[in-house]
Structure 1
Amino acid sequence: MEVTKGADGACWAVPRPVVEDFRLILTWPLALRDRVAPMGAFDGGKIHKRFLALLNQPDSPWRRQDNRLKHARGRGWEGDTDPRHTPEEYAEYVYFYPFVQKFLYDSPQSMAIHRRGDVTHVDLWLADGKDTAPTARLVVDRLAIHSFRTGDVVVVTELRWDPAEDIGPHAGAAGLPLALVMELTERVRHVYPPFFYTSKDKPPAAAQTLARMTWQGVPGTVPAEGISFTSDGVWERIQGRFQGDRRQAPIGEQWLPLLPDLSQKNLVWHQIQDDRMTCLTFLGLDHPERLTEVDWVRLGNVDEAGKELPYGRAFLEDFVEKSCYDRFWDPEVGFTTRYVCMGFSFVVVTKNGQLPFLAEHFRRHYFQMALVSQFQLSALHNISDRLTDVIGEYAEDGGVNRAETRRPLDRILQSMLEFTHVFWFTEITNQIQGRELFDLWRKHLGIERLHAQVSAEVREAKAFVDRLQDERIAGAAERFNWIATLVAVLGVTVGFLGMNIIVPSREASNWGDWPAWGAGAFVLAGALFVAIVMHWGLSWRGRSQWCWPGGWYSGFLVLVAVFFCLGCWLTVGDGIAEWFAR
């Protein structure tokens, strides 16, 4: 009950809304990484193939869903061989543009869906009690992995409350208290504790997480032991995994047993966002018009229930304008459906039973909007992350390994080109409501801003690659010119000496001891060469690579070559001539 005060000062108790239909879809974006290879060698297509090979193993609990339009079918989907589609699937398909249909349903290369059918329920505890009944048992309608050839993955979990299958205190009830639904939603979305409460006399305690979580399903395939977040050893478990030179937030212990073991393919999971999964919440209430301003703000921000606003009123001044979609919200005339979008959350509130099709739209049309948004956000973060690592490695080695930098940058440029022309959608449907909701979602996530930022980074990287290519071409041209000059000088020198213009023969010459002259030429050539090497060493001390000589070095090397040829001619010239005359 909630006490309401009227304009005349009278007070009366108003019952709180009851959640008669509760559905929750959690989307968790991840990226695949090679355990050993550096980011410069990242190839999303090859990594995706290795990941698919792992999921498609005969002993894997994951099964590929080749017909991706059937992604939302519930229990028994594994044995469904009927090629026909339902009216709900038809409505979902025609809702989107043809190029979006190709990406979501038709193209076999863009995306793959794998699902598990052995996980049927999840038990949730708000207070630890292994031997007590859970606070709520939810039905697992869908547990799927959407993997993309870019190396990105979105793990999807769809949960639903069914009073006939609940074993908690609300089993068989007509609905759930709104406060309980809000608290369950806020806590189940965390894949790892965001922080720990500390005190002098108690061990660190995980914050904003469930007390306990246990998956239920086919015995032998689903982990039987649940994960407790209130035990004394939770900090030690997480701290043990939060080690190494490249620390990363630990993947949630409650989710890791369900995911494939990437170590078999030498891969690792890479967390893209923070500890919060994006959550899509559907609430069918008996009286949605009884929701207060505080309720709406807390629902949209996925906060626990409370009587006061969770943030300052000035901060929330434009909450309705920026986050609420009220095309069908006007309780005084019977419109009782409101959408609240915050980017990290999407909430649909409606009067239960008033729009029977809305629940299917939520788990199909709106879910696909979330999937596209999450994938685009994850892919852009992935490209930016790769670019940062490659440029960082280039800066650390002082720009020495330019060729090793250009190749990974070329791969990143190719990835950005593919993303822009294959996976980048600013609109996904011609339906006005769908366009407006998708725009609202993208605006809150900042996808347009992120795309512009990453595109600018890639353009700068492309300019850098082009400069490296120009330098490589200029260097090759300089080396070619140097070699051509050296060969030309050698040819002219040898030809000139072979014409016997200066000295017809040793007998006719007045030069005296020819070998002595030849030795002198060798000494002069050697002295010039040593001088060049010493000058190079003084000028380039500390460098690990030879730098091709410029004009000054080229001139002295030409003199070295001339004196060397002259020495050869003066020393063994007649012997060479006699050998050719035989």
Structure 2
Amino acid sequence: MASSADIVVKHFRQILIWPLQLMPTPHKDGEHRAMGRQWEAMEEAAAAGSPWQPRPTEFDGDPEQFEERHYREFVTFLPYVQRFLYGENRASNLGSYGHSPLHVFRRTDISTVLMMFKDGAVHHFKVAHIDLYFFYDVDVVILAFEIMGDNLPLKRVQDALFRFGRAFPAQWDEDATAANCLRKVAWLNADGDVIAESDFEDRAGYLAHLGQYRAPRMAAHWDFLLQPLVLHHSSAVGALRYRQIEYHRMPILAYLAVDDPFKLSEEDFYRLGMVTRPGHSDSQPYTQKMFDEFERTCCYDRFWVPERGHATASTRMMCNGHAFVMVGMHGNEFYSNPYTGILGQFRHQHFLMALIAHFHKAALLMFSDRLAVALSELNLKDVRSIRTFKREIRLLLEGFLRFNQRYWFREVSNQVVSDQLFQMMSHHLSTDRLHQDVKDSVQSMNQYLENDDLRRQADTVVRLTVVTVFGLIGTTITGFLGMNLFGLADESGWIKLAYFAMVSVPIVWLIFLTVAKSKVLSEFLDAVSDERISFVHTVKILANIWRKKKS
């Protein structure tokens, strides 16, 4: 078997999928906008000259120019997924909800990514597209960043997969360079000029930011790319604010086309599928048990039969949740065709499946985070805090119900390959378990609110009952006497008004006093009705009315 150093990747694609949590944007009057409406502010920024501009869909052009690859992409998905991704024709009188809840923005000012690796080598990767996906009614945004390159050594591809998608350094080496990041990343425009570059070497800046905000700082090139979105835990000024929601390594999709994929070793596939750094040819750090486990849980080998050695059985797909990687034969037209082949499916169907799976996880993590924040800010001694907590929980409950109806689905396609790959992605991302956890938390919170409302209603009933019972005494007495204690029929209006005021004030005071002491009075009534309690103890309970509460 050939050494990995001899293997050349004829064509390489890498797509970063970076989910971020959006913070609610305030209105001018201080109130928060509805959840998941930040795309409106992006449209305003686009009109003001932002590099992020709304991306037209394939359905916005001339229907006669509609391409077959778009058709193939559309029919891959089930109808409810089609409505999520593409919307419906608003001209149809079927009561549909119209456009897709996806709002996509694209920037085209970055044409090349410069990567400087640890050994000092510099490679330029062409940018295929850079998109931001906003989701109606959900405070999540996803960055999709696709790059491509040709004729690259396999080890260089492994290194790019391992190091490129890093939002910030996790640590630094002894030479003050970021341990697992590239030495330098730069965005270049069409003229080759540097628009922005990384600052991984600024160790002091990252440490100071974490010490001040208790949140890591994004690398300079990513921070520049996302503008006008700004990091929430920072001094940056901006209405569109985001925060990290997952691990700092961005999920990826990768496509590799080589002359002979059968020459890749088990270790090569493991490093690609698990997105680890390239190893040395004289080292074998992995055991056969690890390879077997990887092949059993992360490899989709429907089109991979190495013993046959045929082009139709030379495509291997690997998925571990963090990454979806496929390797195939460059000379196989079906694998390399960007329109009707697997390359076209990778860039469209497989990308959209990964987008949906990661959106599901990000949205559920967002709901979980909001629930935790709402609970942490609850102060049972503060009436205003309790009201805010109830309002936030009810809003989250409404948002979660809408998420379930509009976005949550366990199947995306009836096509065998697409369905199995999506199930594989969802399984590794544990979205079903996470959905159940969030559902249980939301229901528990809602049950707490319902129980609290019932308790308050029960307290109100007790107070009304106490007032009614003690008011019944006065009502019975005055009724027995015919309510004619005083003959005021012949008195003037002022005298009658004076008597009315003299009677009303003490009665109102007595009623409010009864309400205020209703808890103790209810205990007194319970004691009176309980034959096992002595008269002396009943009187003591009544005497507690005038005792002051201990602080």
User: TM-score of the superposition, structure 1-length normalised?
Assistant: 0.74
Unaligned runs of 5+ residues in structure 2 are: 88-97, 231-236, 489-501, 526-551
Tell me which amino acid in the other structure corresponds to 1:343. Answer: G
Give the Cα separation in 2 of the matches to 1:54 and 1:81: 27
1:114-193 equivalence runs, <5 A:
114-127=105-118, 135-149=122-136, 150-162=138-150, 175-193=151-169
The range that moved more, 107-116 or 179-188, is: 107-116
Q: Deviations over 1:475-510 (max 9, x none)?
A: 343444455556666655666677456x889xxxxx
Match of 2:296 among 321, 339, 348: 321
Aligned to 2:14: 24
Q: Which residue of 2 aligns with 1:293?
A: 266
2:518 — aligned with what? 549
Is 1:216 paired with 2:188?
yes
Larger deviation: 387-396 or 340-349?
387-396
Verify the 8 A CA contact 1:191 1:276 in the aligned structure 2. Answer: yes
Alpha-carbon separation, structure 2, partners of 1:58 and 1:82: 31
Residue type of the alignment partner of 1:425: F
Mapped partners of 1:475, 1:176: distance in 2: 74
Question: CA 1:367–1:496 in 2, change beyond 3 Å: closer, same or farther?
Answer: same
Match of 1:410 in 2: 394
Amino acid at match of 2:144: V
Q: Distance in 2 between matches of 1:410 and 1:114?
A: 31
Amino acid at match of 1:206: A
Partner residue of 1:241 out of 205, 209, 221: 209
Whether the 8 Å contact between 1:409 and 1:461 is mirrored in structure 2 is yes
Would you say 1:229 and 2:213 are equivalent positions?
A: no
Distance 1:365 1:309, change over 3 A: farther
Match of 1:254 among 197, 208, 221: 221
Q: CA deviation at 1:137?
A: 0.6
Superposed CA deviations along residues 174-198 of structure 1, whole A, max 9, x for unmatched, are: x11100111011110111112233x
Which residue identity lines up with residue 433 of structure 1 in the other structure? Answer: V
- CA distance in 2: counterparts of 1:289 and 1:69, whole angstroms: 41
8 Å Cα contact 1:123-1:216 kept in structure 2: yes
Higher mean alpha-carbon deviation, 14-23 vs 288-297, is at 14-23
1:482 and 1:554 in contact (8 A); partners too:
no
Residues 330-360 of structure 1: CA distance to partner in whole angstroms, max 9, x if unpaired? 1332111000111100111000030221111
Which blocks of at least 5 consecutive residues in structure 1 are unaligned?
4-13, 71-79, 163-174, 506-518, 534-545, 557-582
Contact 1:23/1:283 (<8 A) preserved? yes
CA distance in 2, matches of 1:135, 1:547: 78
Deviation at 1:241, TM superposition (A): 2.6
1:273 Cα offset (Å): 0.6
Structure 1 residues 417 and 494, CA, compared in 2 at 3 Å: closer, same or farther? Answer: same
- 2:246 maps to 273
Do 1:298 and 1:309's aligned partners in 2 also have CA atoms closer than 8 Å?
no
Distance 1:67 1:470 in 2: 50
Distance 1:331 1:311, change over 3 A: closer
- Which residue in 2 is equivalent to 1:579? none
1:472 maps to which residue?
Answer: 456
How far, CA to CA, are the matches of 1:313 and 1:447 in structure 2? 30
SS at match of 1:249: coil
Partner Cα distance (1:60, 1:215) in 2:
17
Structure 1 residues 331 and 314, CA gap change in structure 2 (3 angstroms): closer
Of 458-467 and 377-386, more deviation after overlay is shown by: 458-467
User: Hey, what does 2:46 align to over in structure 1?
Assistant: 56
- Does the 8 Å CA contact 1:50/1:265 hold for their aligned counterparts? no
For residue 130 of structure 2, what is the amino acid of its counterpart? L
| Whole-angstrom distance in 1 between the partners of 2:471 and 2:7 | 92
* 1:336 pairs with 2:314: yes
Q: Report the structure number with the largest CA radius of gyration.
A: 1
Map Cα deviations across residues 294-316 of structure 1 (whole Å, 9 max, x no partner).
10111011112114455454444
Per the TM alignment, residue 462 of structure 1 is displaced from its structure 2 partner at its CA by 1.8
Match of 1:156, SS? strand
Aligned-partner Cα distance in 2 for 1:405–1:460: 14
RMSD of Structure 2 on Structure 1 (CA): 3.6
Specify the SS of the correspondent of 2:377: helix
Q: Does 1:451 align with 2:441?
A: no
SS, match of residue 359 in structure 2: helix
Q: Which moved more, 1:46-55 or 1:85-94?
A: 46-55
Do the aligned partners of residues 53 and 398 (structure 1) sit closer, same or farther apart at CA in structure 2, a change above 3 Å counting?
same
Q: Give the count of matched residue pairs.
A: 479
Do the aligned partners of residues 450 and 554 (structure 1) sit closer, same or farther apart at CA in structure 2, a change above 3 Å counting?
closer
Per-residue deviation at 1:47?
4.2
Give the distance between the partners of 1:127 and 1:15, measured in 2 at CA.
17
Q: Residue 514 of structure 1 corresponds to which residue in structure 2? A: none
Does the CA-based 8 Å contact 1:20-1:283 persist in structure 2? yes
When residues 68 and 257 of structure 1 are mapped into structure 2, their CA distance, relative to the original with a 3 A threshold, is farther
Q: When the two structures are superposed, what TM-score results if normalisation uses the length of structure 2?
A: 0.78
Following the alignment from structure 1 to structure 2, what is the Cα–Cα distance between the partners of residues 547 and 416? 40
Report the Cα offset of residue 434 of structure 1. 0.8
Residue identity in the other structure for 2:149: W
1:86 aligns with 2:39: no
Quickly say closer, same or farther: Cα 1:68–1:379, change in 2 above 3 A: farther
- Distance across 1 between alignment mates of 2:459 and 2:79: 49
1:95 maps to 2:68: no
